[in-house]
A and B are shown apart, each in its own frame.
Chain A
Amino acid sequence: MHPCGGDKMSGCCGNKTNCEKSTIKAEKGEIKVAIVGQPNVGKSSIINALSNAKLHVGNFSGVTVEKKEVYVKKNGYDVLMTDLPGIYAFNAYTPEEQVAKDFLIKEDCDVIVNVVDANTLSRNLIFTLQLLDMHKKMILVINMVDEIEKRDGKINKKRIEKLLGVPVILTSAKQNRGVDEIIDCIIDTYNAHIVKNKIYYNEKIEQRIEDLAKILQKSQHFRDKDYSRFIAIRLLDRDENIYKIIHDLPIFIEAHKALEKMYAKLEAEFDEDSTTDILANERVAIARNLQMEAIDVKEEEESLSEKIDNFLIHPILGLPIFLFFMWALFQLTFVLGNYPMNVISSIFSETSAFLADLLPKGVFNSVLTDGILPAVGAIVMFLPNILVLFLGLNLLEQTGYMSRAAYLMDGFMKRFGLQGKAFVPLVSGFGCTVPAYMAARTLKNPKDRIITMLVLGFMSCGARLPIYVLLVSAFFTNENPGNILFFIYIGGAILGLIVAKILRTVLFRGEPEPFVMEIPPYRFPSFKALGMDLWIKTKMFLKKAGSFIAIAAMIIWFLSAYPANDDMVQKYNAKIEQTSSVQQKEQLKNDLNSKLLENSYLGSVGKFIEPVFAPLGMDWRLSVAVVAGLSAKEVVVSTLGTLYSMGGVNETNKGLIEKIRANVDFKAAIALIIIIMIYSPCLAAMGTFYAEVPQWAWRVFYTIYPNVVAWLMAFGAYKTLALMGY
């Protein structure tokens, strides 16, 4: 008899006294729990609703899949729960599912908490049945019971407990019902000695399971009866991961022979193509029966979700509505994000100015006020945009609209070898590449995600705008500058899609990735969950991109500030003191800065790389500006300003525009625009990419290919213009 359910003790988990009694007699300690369930069952809202829980967020080792750990202390027990990524079934499909599966199979957890959605019980139970095959201590949490009750439905908890042999808890995370019972039940289940959850399949299948398990038991790895049964079922289910486990064992040859025979026999007996189908059909049949016995509810005529969908995924209206949402999100990101951006920027610049005066002059002062503070300021400045964008994206995701967007855009994106969901990160890329890389996490398929991330840089981010404005105003005086800008942005996007297509056909050959995606019902977002997520994102962003860009920007700063050239500074300072004209003083100061920069390590780098850019008609100054732009795209304009000896320039400065026009050839300017459009994004973005993509091969490819493409395109444009006589 299981501890919290069954006939005699059913409901004990709801009854605190019973549970406490049982905890006294047992030994206390740490209980390791895995929380597992299909996507969209409200697992995270259950975790958020747990009282006195401590949440820790990290990554599963080696992969960039978010790992949430929840820790609750109760009745002397330390309950450590790991929230596994949503998983539909043991035949894992996405990297997230693989992580969840590996955890379940390899980690030694004491109790499994399986969360299911009452609305889609039979589908959820298909996976529950696979979990029951593991024969571990398990609890079934049926969530969203309020939605069944709203439809005058009833769930027969005792019946499910009896049929499945595991304790059942009915919860509604939204109404905070039943959630805390989970902890009591975990402790009870942990202390129970007998596990009685066992699902029996069709006799013919059971016979094979038993035969195979007996063969497996000959190996020392599968001595345990329950474990060998689980492995046998997984093998009959044609589970490749499990197959790999036995592949290297001495038992393999015997097991393999038996398995091949069983596959053939079962498939003939059941007239199916694969034993996977046979087991799936079995599970579906069991799950349907369970649902029929356990839930009594009328079918909905037309839910609110369907009414909303009549508009939002309407064949004609759907797309324009979606484009409007995206446009609004894009606008909000910039409009709302810009206010704090200016404030943060001025806080940092004023703090560094204040500290520069306060601290004694010297290297430390310079490093701090010219190097570290502006660099850190440059990262933190992006935070408001990122938070607004993520709030928007989270809202779209949580309400369930995101999967509709993917559904609507899929047809268009497919032509370029991309998936519907890729549209969202790509559009975010026009804002800032950093959150866009993070938004690509919504793409579950690794290939789709890599392609999307590789072409994301082609979506010109907001920071590149000043450069375009500067060059367009210098060279396109006759045309409408707005149109030219629009052309640059659209051109980048089209190029990105074309490159995606090329990557798909060259590097990711083969069948296009299938598109099968659940469209969950619309749900009202939980503000607590939204807030938690933003807070986690904030911390992770500051930690990850922050540490990276702070160091990188410091390096760039050191390169531009050293080696110190005291002689030259003294020579110029003497000259500056001699002149009386304010204008001449400014001029001399700018000359000094320009000379210092030319002789700095960065200047040497510029001179060194000049030959690379010479075929594009670009001199060492433009070369340095392009390279400095790798730290942050804003730096391109300020570097050009310094290099062309103008103090404190910005893109609207008429003087700089004149200078650029006078010093830079039209063809070179076009080449520069093309370079800026295509080459690697800033260090913060690159750091984010490295953090998101663990494979070194992709990191190296990502670091090299945009620059090669940029150079080739720029060279092509330069030569074409030269032939046309410009």
Chain B
Amino acid sequence: MKNISDLKIDEEAIVAKMIAKEPVKGRLLSMGIVKGAKIKVVAHTLARQTWDILSDNTKVALREEEARCILVEETK
């Protein structure tokens, strides 16, 4: 299954599963990034180490490690 770090800038997807551990998971949950949430990649750095994603009007910066923990599927 794809994860966020597989997406391109401006690409949208739906969160399918979170394999992040606590405390990252709790943090993502409280920012509204949960199963079924629609997300969009806003930007990533040149080396693709840090990601900026938009979910529910909130932009969240993540490291590649965290981005990999959010599995996504294509928007229907």
Contact B43 A309 (CB under 8 A): yes
CB-nearest residue of chain A to B55? A123
Interface centre among B22, B27, B59 (most CB of A within 10 A): B59
Is residue A277 contacting chain B, with contact meaning CB distance below 8 A? yes
CB-nearest residue of chain A to B45? A411
Distance between B27 CB and nearest chain A CB, rounded to angstroms? 5
Is residue A516 contacting chain B, with contact meaning CB distance below 8 A? yes
Contact B50 A410 (CB under 8 A): yes
Q: Which residues of A contact B62 (CB under 8 A)?
A: 515-516
Q: Which of A396-436 contact B (CB under 8 A)?
A: 403, 406-408, 410-411, 414, 420
Is residue A284 contacting chain B, with contact meaning CB distance below 8 A? yes
Q: How far is it, in angstroms, between the C-alpha of A93 and the C-alpha of B46 when the chains are bound?
A: 29
Partner of B56, one of A122, A319, A515: A122
Interface centre among B42, B49, B58 (most CB of A within 10 A): B58
Distance between B30 CB and nearest chain A CB, rounded to angstroms? 3
- How many residue pairs link A and B with beta carbons under 8 A? The number is 117
CB-nearest residue of chain A to B43? A313
Contact B66 A120 (CB under 8 A): no
Is residue B65 contacting chain A, with contact meaning CB distance below 8 A? yes
Q: How far is it, in angstroms, between the C-alpha of A72 and the C-alpha of B37 when the chains are bound?
A: 41
Is residue B39 contacting chain A, with contact meaning CB distance below 8 A? no
Q: How far is it, in angstroms, between the C-alpha of A123 and the C-alpha of B56 when the chains are bound?
A: 7
Q: Which residues of B contact A512 (CB under 8 A)?
A: 65
Contact A410 B63 (CB under 8 A): yes
Contact B24 A88 (CB under 8 A): no
Is residue A119 contacting chain B, with contact meaning CB distance below 8 A? yes
Interface centre among A93, A123, A319 (most CB of B within 10 A): A123
Q: Say yes or no: A516-B66 contact (C-beta < 8 A), given A120-B57, A280-B34, A313-B52.
A: yes
Contact A518 B59 (CB under 8 A): yes
Q: How far is it, in angstroms, between the C-alpha of A276 and the C-alpha of B59 when the chains are bound?
A: 23
Contact B26 A91 (CB under 8 A): yes
Contact A519 B50 (CB under 8 A): no
Partner of B57, one of A119, A403, A414, A420: A119
Q: Which residues of B contact A507 (CB under 8 A)?
A: none
Cβ contacts A501-525/B at 8 Å (1 or 0 each):
0000000000010111111110000
Provide the main secondary structure of the chain A interface.
Answer: helix
Contact B26 A89 (CB under 8 A): yes
Q: Which residues of A contact B57 (CB under 8 A)?
A: 119-120, 123
Q: Say yes or no: A127-B49 contact (C-beta < 8 A), given A516-B62, A517-B61.
A: no
Q: Say yes or no: A519-B29 contact (C-beta < 8 A), given A407-B50, A514-B66.
A: no
Cβ contacts A305-329/B at 8 Å (1 or 0 each):
0100100011110110000000000
Q: How far is it, in angstroms, between the C-alpha of A512 and the C-alpha of B22 when the chains are bound?
A: 13
Partner of B26, one of A276, A318, A410: A276
Distance between B36 CB and nearest chain A CB, rounded to angstroms? 8
Contact A414 B43 (CB under 8 A): no
Q: Which residues of A contact B61 (CB under 8 A)?
A: 403, 406-407, 410, 515-519
CB-nearest residue of chain A to B19? A273
Q: Which residues of B contact A127 (CB under 8 A)?
A: 30
Binding site for B on A (CB under 8 A): 38, 88-89, 91, 93, 119-120, 122-123, 126-127, 276-277, 280-281, 284, 306, 309, 313-316, 318-319, 403, 406-408, 410-411, 414, 420, 512, 514-521
**A to B CB contacts below 8 Å, 29 in the list:** A38-B30, A88-B27, A89-B26, A89-B30, A91-B30, A120-B32, A120-B58, A123-B32, A123-B58, A276-B29, A277-B35, A280-B29, A284-B29, A309-B42, A315-B43, A315-B44, A407-B45, A407-B50, A407-B61, A408-B50, A411-B45, A411-B49, A414-B63, A515-B62, A515-B66, A516-B31, A518-B59, A518-B60, A520-B59
Binding site for A on B (CB under 8 A): 18, 22-32, 34-37, 42-47, 49-50, 52, 56-63, 65-66
